[in-house]
């Protein structure tokens, strides 16, 4: 049996993820955090899911473009996990092992919420595959940007400059469920999560994230 704890401890970098519903502002916040950390540390990468490697960006295209019913939930979940596996082994894990900071726009919790809690894929299947991929390494800190879906979808549509509309086009009830599921998950993992009000200005949110990181990881950010 794999010793997940010791495996997890072998990975030295800092792993930070952003989560939230459509148009919550997490991509902007990931970028702002990256720019801030890069101003004093060379070893930091900004990446995203689905995506981050050539294969995973191709899978992203299958997943996010087209009709909302293109994939059944299990197929969809396996595609997200396939993309995550390639991303983990080729990009995230090597960076963490090298002591780098990794900032990732969405990660496994998006699969737990969208495919698991909202589309009914059994959570134990998602967890087992995740454990097999990562050896039980979870993000060190996760920021949930919480925003009413009506506001987020409007923002998302007005800013979109591509055809990745498959999830955006799901109905408002689905997006309400996404919001409440993220809040539930974040409260369940309250040691790892900070919930932020996505209605605040980008600068205010960024300030809170910086303060939180400095407080959480004093030894690294002093
Ligand atoms: P993203 O590119 O973050 O879009 P946005 O910035 O508009 O929120 O994510 C694309 C979509 O993929 C998003 O609707 C959530 C969905 N998704 C899942 O359903 N499962 C997953 O595991 C991931 C990573 C994303």
Distance, CA of 101 to chain centre = 15
pLDDT at residue 16 greater than cutoff 60: yes
b/e map 93-112, b = 16+ CB within 10 Å: bebbeeebbbbbbbbbbbbb
Domain count, the chain: 1
Give alpha helix (H) positions in the chain. 4-10, 26-38, 54-64, 73-87, 93-97, 108-110, 123-134, 149-159, 172-188, 202-216, 218-221
- What spacing in Å lies between the alpha carbon of 50 and ligand 1's midpoint? 7
Q: Does the Cβ of 114 fall within 6 Å of ligand 1? A: yes
CA–CA separation, 36 and 42 (whole Å): 11
This prediction's pTM: 0.94
What is the model's pLDDT at position 21? 97
Q: Which residues have a Cβ under 8 Å from the Cβ of 194 and sit 6 or more positions away?
A: 141, 142, 143, 144, 208, 209, 212
Q: How many CB atoms lie within 10 A of CB 10?
A: 11
The number of the ligand 1 atom at minimal distance from the alpha carbon of 49 is: 24
What is the model's pLDDT at position 2? 40
What average pLDDT does the segment 179-208 reach?
98
Give the mean pLDDT of the chain.
92
Domain span at residue 113? 4-221
At 138-188, the pLDDT tens digits run: 999 999 999 999 999 988 888 888 888 888 888 999 999 999 999 999 999
Q: Does the Cβ of 106 fall within 6 Å of ligand 1? A: yes
The number of the ligand 1 atom at minimal distance from the alpha carbon of 156 is: 7
Residue whose CA lies nearest to ligand 1 atom number 19: 114
Backbone angles phi, psi at 163, to 5 degrees: -105, 30
What's 199's domain CATH number?
Answer: 3.40.50.300
- What spacing in Å lies between the alpha carbon of 80 and ligand 1's midpoint? 10
DSSP lists the bridge partners of residue 44 as: 101
DSSP lists the bridge partners of residue 142 as: 17, 193
Q: Does the Cβ of 64 fall within 6 Å of ligand 1? A: yes
CA–CA separation, 54 and 63 (whole Å): 14
CA–CA separation, 22 and 7 (whole Å): 34
pLDDT at residue 10 greater than cutoff 70: no
- What spacing in Å lies between the alpha carbon of 219 and ligand 1's midpoint? 33
At 67-114, the pLDDT tens digits run: 888 899 999 999 999 999 999 999 999 999 999 999 999 999 999 999
DSSP lists the bridge partners of residue 101 as: 14, 44
């Amino acid at each position: 049996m794999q010793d997940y704890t010791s495996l997890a401890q072998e990975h030295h970098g800092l792993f930070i993820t952003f989560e939230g519903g459509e148009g919550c502002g997490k991509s902007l916040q990931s970028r702002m955090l990256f720019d801030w950390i890069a101003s004093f540390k060379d070893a930091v990468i900004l990446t995203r899911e689905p995506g981050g490697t050539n294969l995973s960006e191709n899978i992203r295209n299958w997943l996010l473009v087209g009709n909302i019913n293109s994939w059944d939930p299990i197929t969809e979940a396996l595609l997200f996990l396939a993309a995550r596996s390639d991303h983990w082994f080729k990009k995230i894990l090597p960076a963490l092992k090298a002591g780098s900071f990794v900032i990732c726009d969405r990660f496994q919790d998006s699969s737990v919420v969208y495919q698991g809690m909202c589309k009914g894929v059994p959570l134990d299947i998602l967890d087992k595959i995740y454990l097999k991929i990562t050896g039980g390494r979870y993000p060190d800190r996760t920021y949930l940007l919480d925003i009413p879906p009506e506001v987020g979808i409007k923002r998302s549509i007005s800013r979109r400059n591509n055809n990745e509309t498959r999830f955006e086009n799901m109905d408002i009830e689905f997006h309400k469920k996404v919001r409440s599921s993220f809040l539930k998950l974040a409260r369940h993992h309250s040691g790892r999560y900070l919930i932020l009000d996505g209605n605040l200005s980008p600068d205010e949110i960024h300030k809170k994230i910086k303060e939180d990181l400095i407080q959480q990881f004093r030894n690294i950010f002093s």
